[in-house]
Amino acid sequence: MPKDQRWGLYILSRLLAPFSNNAWFLTSSVLMLAGLTVGCLYLWQTHKEKILSKPEFKLTQERLIVTHAPKWIASDVVADTMVRGRLHGLNVLDADFSLRVDRAFRANPWVRDVLLVNPSQALGRGVVVNVEWRRPVAFVVVDARKYGQDYPEGLLPIDKDGVLLPQEIPGDEANQYPKIGGVDSEPVRTGHPWGDPRVVDAAKIAILLEDMWHDLGLRRIDVPSIEESKSTEAFFQLVLASGESTVWGSAPGKERGHECSAAEKVLRLRQILKGTGESVSQAVRDVDLREIRWASRGKN
C-alpha cells in the first residue's frame, strides 16, 4: 500500500479512536442523555401551560386534609383559610405552594402552629395539613360595653399563651371555664397575645387548677393591678363562688424567697379535697398557699 494511503488510514483511525470500545459506549450515552434532556425541556416548554391547568394540580377545599378541629371551634377554619389565604386554585407544583398554605393557616386565630404541609399526595387523596389548635383555658372578665357584639357577655377567651381567641363558645359553656378578673389592660386583637404578662400568669394558674376548679368551688383568679404588680408584695388571689378569696401568691415560676412553689400549692389544694374536717370552701378560704409549712406537710 502506498505510503500516502497508509498515512490517510492512520489519521482516520485516530479520529475514530474515541468511538471505539468503552469510549464509544460512554460517548453515545452522553449524547443520548443530552438529547433526551433537550427533548424533555422542549416538550415541557411547549405543553407546560396545558399540564399545569389540569384540575388535579389545582387546590380545592375538598382536597385539603386538615387535622380535625376540636369541639370548641364552631367556625369552619378550613373554608375561612381558603378564602382569606387566597388558596383556591393554587397550583400544587408551585415552588412556594407549601409556604403559602403554611402562612394562610398560621394567620387563623385558632391555629397555634402548623406542623406539616405535605402536597406529595396531591395527585392522590389530597394535601395533608397537620396543625396544633389553640385551646381556651380561661375567660378574662371585661366591661362588655367596650367590646360590643364580638364579646357580648364581657368574657374574652384566651389560651395558655394569653392569646385572645374568637368567641365561639356559648355562654353556658363559657361559665364552666375559670375566669380571670382585675385585668385593667386591653388586648391588641383576636389571634394575638394580650400583651399583659399578668394574663399569661393567670392562665398558667388556671391550667394548674382546671381539673379541680369546680370541686374547690372556685370562680375567678384575680390579678394584681398594674401598680401592685410593680411591688414585691403583689400576689394573685383565688376567688370562691361565695365571693370570699384566698391568697395564691406569686405567678408560677416567679415565687419569692421561701414561698411555696406552684406544685406545692396544688398539692395542698388536693389535700383539702381529700377531706379536712371542714367544708372545702372554708378550708380554701382559710389557707394561705404561700406558707412554706404546707410544703413540708405535703412531703410527710
pLDDT, tens digit, 9 for 90 and up, residues 276-298: 556 777 777 777 887 755 444 44
**Average pLDDT in the 243-265 region?**
89
**Average pLDDT in the 233-239 region?**
87
Cβ–Cβ under 8 Å, residues 194 and 173: no
Rg, C-alpha atoms of the chain:
34
What b-and-e string marks burial along 161-173, b requiring 16 or more CB atoms within 10 Å of the CB?
Answer: ebbbbbbebeeee
Specify the range with the lowest mean pLDDT, choosing from 15-24, 70-79, 194-203, 218-227.
15-24
How far apart, in whole angstroms, are the C-alpha atoms of residue 235 and residue 258? 14
pLDDT band at 1 (very low <50, low <70, confident <90, very high): low
pLDDT of residue 197: 94
pLDDT of residue 92: 86
β-pair partners for 181 = 222
Q: Which of 167, 155, 158, 248 is nearest to 208 (CA)?
A: 248
pLDDT of residue 202: 97
How far apart, in whole angstroms, are the C-alpha atoms of residue 47 and residue 49? 6
Average pLDDT, the chain: 81
pTM: 0.76
Q: Which of 142, 138, 159 is nearest to 150 (CA)?
A: 142
**Average pLDDT in the 10-27 region?**
56
C-alpha cell at 26: 460512554
β-pair partners for 140 = 156, 180
Percentage of the chain beyond pLDDT 90 is 42
Cβ–Cβ under 8 Å, residues 222 and 206: no
Residue 256: pLDDT over 90:
no
Residue 44: pLDDT over 90:
no
Q: What DSSP string runs through 93-147?
A: TSTTHHHHHHHHHHTSTTEEEEEEEEGGGTTTT-EEEEEEE----EEEE--GGGT
**Average pLDDT in the 177-206 region?**
94
Residue 300: pLDDT over 90:
no
How far apart, in whole angstroms, are the C-alpha atoms of residue 253 and residue 256? 9
Residue 262: pLDDT over 50:
yes
Percentage of the chain beyond pLDDT 70 is 73
| pLDDT tens-place string over residues 71-129 | 999 999 999 999 999 999 898 888 899 999 999 999 999 999 999 998 875 455 689 99
| pLDDT tens-place string over residues 120-173 | 754 556 899 999 999 999 999 988 777 666 676 788 999 999 999 998 888 788
Higher pLDDT, 231 or 299: 231
CA dihedral sign, ordered 103, 108, 109, 110 = negative
pLDDT band at 255 (very low <50, low <70, confident <90, very high): confident
pLDDT of residue 296: 46
